[in-house]
Amino acid sequence: MLIFGKGASSTAGLVKCPFCAELIQSEAIKCKHCGSDIQPNAKSQEHDPSLWSADHYFKLNNGDVVLEGGAIDTLSISLIGLHPGQPPKDVYEKYKAQIRTLSNELPPQIRDSFRQTVKSKF
């Protein structure tokens, strides 16, 4: 890598694209890998009721409660996009109480998994 002018790669400030799972800058509005729009209206999404609605984060699948990973990706990307230049961990800390409140509204069997999954996105 050093021969080509690149140092050791770092994932600081990067998030996964919810469409192709490639790492992109947290400030990105379009994925450089797949071309998907990441956060067309992030500012309005902070107050979007569906962003904070527990029903948005799970589904029933043959009687089992299953997390909706795409909705969790949207949550993390939206919140990170609201604070360009801030480290994702700081953004998580800012919304930690709201995320905990949201997780408490989920069915009990997926609460811990939801919290772990959300935290891993930051």
pLDDT digits (tens, 9 = 90+) for 54-77: 999 999 999 899 999 899 999 999
Nearest to 26 by CA among 70, 94, 87: 87
pLDDT at 92: 96
pTM: 0.61
Average pLDDT estimate for 73-98: 92
Q: What is the pLDDT of residue 9?
A: 53
pLDDT in tens, 99-113: 999 999 999 999 999
Angstrom distance (rounded) from CA 79 to CA 95: 8
Q: CA 67 → CA 18, 22, 26, 72, distances in Å?
A: 15, 21, 23, 8
Residue 17 — pLDDT band, cuts 50, 70, 90?
confident
Give the domain ranges of the chain: 2-120
What's the pLDDT score for residue 48? 67
Summary mean pLDDT of the chain: 84
Tell me: pLDDT of 16 over 60: yes
> Which pLDDT value is given to residue 46?
58
Give the residue, 9 or 106, on which the prediction is more confident.
106
